[in-house]
Amino acid sequence: MSEELIENIRNFSIVAHIDHGKSTLADRLIQATGTLTDREMVEQVLDSMDIERERGITIKAQTVRLNYRAQDGKDYVLNLMDTPGHVDFAYEVSRSLAACEGSLLVVDASQGVEAQTLANVYHAIDANHELVPVLNKIDLPAAEPDRIKQQIEDVIGIDASEAVPISAKTGLNIDLVLEAIVTRLPAPKGDRNAPLKALLVDSWYDAYLGVVVLVRIFDGTLKKGQRVKMIGTNAQYEVDRLGVFRPKMQAIAELGPGEIGFITAAIKEVADTRVGDTITDDRKNTNIVPLPGFKPAQPVVFCGLFPMDAAQFEDLRAAMGRLRLNDASFSFEMESSAALGFGFRCGFLGLLHLEIIQERLEREFNLDLIATAPSVIYKINMTDGSHIELHNPVDMPDVVKITSIEEPWIRATILTPDDYLGSILKLCQDRRGVQVDLNYVGKRAMVQYDLPLNEVVFDFYDRLKSVSKGYASFDYHLTDYKEGDLVKMQILVNAEPVDALSMLVHRDRAESRGRAMCEKLKDLIPQHMFVIPIQAAIGAKIIARETIRALRKDVTAKCYGGDISRKRKLLEKQKEGKKKMRQFGSVDIPQEAFIAALKVDG
C-alpha cells in the first residue's frame, strides 16, 4: 500500500493506569479490524514476552497497523502503539507518544482515575495529543461510568462528555472506539516531496533480521535500497528491508509521511541506533532540523548480580549481553565481592525493571543468582573539593574524607480510598517523606509526598499495596539531590562483614533497620555446629545484635549407625540443601536471606 493518503491515516496510543485494560482493548481492535483471525488471536498478542504474559504487564512498546473501513465508506490505516503502564517504563510511554497524534485515554469505570492515569495523560497532553476518553469494564456491576466521566473532567480537566463506554472483555462498543479514532483524532501532517525526516522510535535485536528499527515518517518517503543517515550518530546505512507490523512483520514497498513501520539495514548493534534520533536521506545538502529527541532513560537503581555457582560467571555475562541487546536502559559492568566472588554491578530504571531482568536471567538462561541490596546513586562531596558518584555502598570512601553526601529525591503521587489514608501517611512519614499536598478526587484522597528514593527502592511499593489492600496507586518522578545524614551500615555474620548486605541508610533509621535485618537473618540462617553472632554496625560501632544458637543434633544420629543407604540419602539431601547456600567464612547463608533481609521494614 504505497502512496497512502495521509488524511486517511490515524496514529494513536492507548494511555491508562496499569490493569485498566489497554492490552485487552488493543486485542479487540486487532480482532475487530480483521487484522488477525480468531484462530490466530492469542490473548494479548501485543505482549510478546512470556514474562509479560504471565505477569500481565506490558514492557516493550509495540505497534500494529490496522486497516479499517469507516462508516463514511473510506478506508483508513490505523497505527496503534501500545505503551507500558508501569512507572519504571515511563520513558517508553513518551517515545510512543511522540510518534502519534492522539491517544485513547482508558479508565476503568469501576476504579476511576489512578496515579498513572494522571501521569500518562499528562505525558499525552505534553505531546499535544487529542484525547478520546474511553470508559472500560462497564460490564462489571461496580462500574459507574457517569461518576467516572465527571471525575475525568474534574481531575484531568478535559471534556469527557463524549467518553466511549466499552467492555474490552466482551467487545461491547469496540465499533464506537474505531469510529471515534477516525472522526475525533487528527490525521498526521507531512510533505511527501520534502527530504526524508523520520523519527527513530525504538530498536531491538531480532535473531533472524538483526537490528530492527521502528520509525515514524514525518516528511519524505522511505524505500528499500535507499541510503539513510542518522543525524545524531552520523551513521549511514542502506535500507535492506522495509515493512509494517500486522502485528507480524509484513514487507511493504514504501513508507510515506505519517506512516509507522520498520527498517533493517546492516546495523550491528542496537547501541548504534539512538532512540529519538532523526533519520534522513544520505544526501550532502539536506540541512534539516532534527526532531526533538527523547530524554534518555537513565538507570536509577543499581545492584550487584552474582552467580550462585562461580562456574556460571561466563554464562551470566553472555546472558546479560543478550538481554542488553534489546534493552539499552539495562547496564552492567564487572564487579568482584569478597564474599560473592565475581559478578556484575547492574543499573535499572526501577525495582520492577530489576525484578524482571533478574527473573529473565534465571528463567530464560537457567542461572541461579544472588542480588545484593539495591542502591541509588549518591553524590559524595569530598574534603579535597572533588565529587564522587557512588553506585555501590562497598566503594564508599573513608568517612573522614567526606564533607557531605547527597541523595536523590522523588515527588510521589498516591491515590487511595480514604480508609487507607492514615496508614499511607504513616508509611510515607516513616520513610522520611515530606507531605506536599493532600486533596480529594471524589471519594479518593490524592497525596503528594517528597521522598528520598533510597527509602522507596526497597519495598515501598509492596508496603503501599499491602497497607491499602492493593487499592492505592502510585507514580513518581525524580526531582533533585538533597544533602542527607547518611551512614554506611554493615552486617557482620560471625564477625565477618557481608559486603552484599552493606547499605547507606539515614542515621536516624540505621538502628531500627539494622535490628530488623539481624532479626530476619537470625530466622533465615540455619543453625550451625557453633554459635553465630549477627551484628549490624556503623564503622566500628555495633548498633544491633542477634545470636544463632549452636546446633547439637547430628542429622544422621537417628539412623542408629546401621542403615548406610538411609544415612547416605540424608547426607545427600543435606548436600542438596547446601547447594542453594552461599558460604561466608564458615557460615552458610541461604539465597533467600539476601532478598528477605533487604525487604525488612525497619
Ligand X SMILES: Nc1nc2c(ncn2[C@@H]2O[C@H](COP(=O)(O)OP(=O)(O)OP(=O)(O)O)[C@@H](O)[C@H]2O)c(=O)[nH]1
Q: How far apart are CA 69 and CA 80, in angstroms?
A: 16
Task: List the grid coordinates of 335.
Answer: 564487579
Give the CA-trace dihedral at 318, 350, 299, 582, to 10 degrees.
-40
The residue (of 35 and 221) whose beta carbon lies closer to ligand X is 35
Is residue 20 close enough to count as binding ligand X by CB under 6 A? yes
The residue (of 100 and 230) whose beta carbon lies closer to ligand X is 100
Is residue 24 close enough to count as binding ligand X by CB under 6 A? yes
**Which of these ranges, 18-26, 295-303, 326-334, 499-507, lies near ligand X under the rule CB under 6 A?**
18-26
The residue (of 85 and 257) whose beta carbon lies closer to ligand X is 85
Q: Known binding site for GTP: residues? A: 19-24, 136-139
Is residue 392 close enough to count as binding ligand X by CB under 6 A? no
The residue (of 11 and 24) whose beta carbon lies closer to ligand X is 24
Q: How far apart are CA 602 and CA 592, in angstroms?
A: 18
Q: How far apart are CA 206 and CA 592, in angstroms?
A: 35
Residue ranges of the alpha helices (H) in 11-114?
22-32, 50-55, 90-97
The residue (of 87 and 328) whose beta carbon lies closer to ligand X is 87
Is residue 16 close enough to count as binding ligand X by CB under 6 A? yes
Q: How far apart are CA 151 and CA 157, in angstroms?
A: 9
What minimum distance in Å lies between the beta carbon of 464 and ligand X?
17
Q: How far apart are CA 348 and CA 210, in angstroms?
A: 24
What minimum distance in Å lies between the beta carbon of 24 and ligand X?
3
Task: List the grid coordinates of 169.
Answer: 472483555
Task: List the grid coordinates of 289.
Answer: 532540523
Interacting residues of 18 by C-beta distance below 8 A, sequence separation 6+:
57, 85, 86, 116, 473
Q: What amino acid is encoded at 360 in this protein?
A: R
Q: How far apart are CA 374 and CA 454, in angstroms?
A: 9
What minimum distance in Å lies between the beta carbon of 188 and ligand X?
25
**Which of these ranges, 65-73, 162-170, 207-215, 362-370, lies near ligand X under the rule CB under 6 A?**
162-170
Closest CA to 429 of 407, 457, 405, 450: 450
Is residue 167 close enough to count as binding ligand X by CB under 6 A? yes
**Which of these ranges, 161-169, 211-219, 352-360, 429-437, lies near ligand X under the rule CB under 6 A?**
161-169
What minimum distance in Å lies between the beta carbon of 220 and ligand X?
34
Is residue 18 close enough to count as binding ligand X by CB under 6 A? yes
Q: How far apart are CA 598 and CA 505, in angstroms?
A: 12
Could you give the string, one character per residue 253-272, with x where binding to ligand X holds by CB under 6 A and - elsewhere? --------------------
**Which of these ranges, 163-171, 188-196, 350-358, 489-497, lies near ligand X under the rule CB under 6 A?**
163-171
**Which of these ranges, 165-173, 218-226, 237-245, 438-446, lies near ligand X under the rule CB under 6 A?**
165-173
Binding residues for ligand X, total number by CB under 6 A: 19
What minimum distance in Å lies between the beta carbon of 141 and ligand X?
10
Q: What amino acid is encoded at 398 in this protein?
A: D
Per-state percent for the chain, helix, strand, coil, to nearest 5: 30, 35, 35
What minimum distance in Å lies between the beta carbon of 19 and ligand X?
4
User: How many CB atoms sit inside 10 A of residue 327's CB?
Assistant: 21
**Which of these ranges, 12-20, 213-221, 489-497, 548-556, lies near ligand X under the rule CB under 6 A?**
12-20
Angle (nearest 5°) at CA 172 between 169 and 173: 130
The residue (of 51 and 209) whose beta carbon lies closer to ligand X is 51
The residue (of 170 and 250) whose beta carbon lies closer to ligand X is 170
- Integer angstrom CA distances of residue 305 from 298, 300, 348: 19, 16, 12
The residue (of 56 and 157) whose beta carbon lies closer to ligand X is 56
Asked if 115 contacts 448 with a C-beta cutoff of 8 angstroms, the reply is no
Cis previous bond, 247, omega within 30 = yes
Report the residue from 10, 22, 95, 229 that binds ligand X according to the rule CB under 6 A: 22
Most distant pair of Cα atoms in the chain: their distance: 91
Asked if 131 contacts 121 with a C-beta cutoff of 8 angstroms, the reply is yes
What minimum distance in Å lies between the beta carbon of 108 and ligand X?
8
Q: Of 132-151, which residues contact ligand X (CB under 6 A)? A: 136-137, 139-140
Q: Known binding site: residues? A: 19-24, 136-139
What minimum distance in Å lies between the beta carbon of 53 and ligand X?
10
Report the residue from 9, 10, 21, 215 that binds ligand X according to the rule CB under 6 A: 21
Task: List the grid coordinates of 324.
Answer: 542488553
Task: List the grid coordinates of 547.
Answer: 545470636
Q: How far apart are CA 471 and CA 469, in angstroms?
A: 6
What minimum distance in Å lies between the beta carbon of 445 and ligand X?
23
The backbone region for 8, taken as left when phi is positive above 0, alpha when psi lies in -120 to 50, beta otherwise, is alpha
What minimum distance in Å lies between the beta carbon of 17 and ligand X?
7
The residue (of 147 and 558) whose beta carbon lies closer to ligand X is 147
What minimum distance in Å lies between the beta carbon of 352 and ligand X?
11
- The partner residues of 406 in beta bridges, in order of sequence, read 379, 483
Could you give the string, one character per residue 50-89, with x where binding to ligand X holds by CB under 6 A and - elsewhere? ------xxx--------------------------x----
Residues forming the site for ligand X (CB under 6 A): 16, 18-24, 56-58, 85, 136-137, 139-140, 167-169
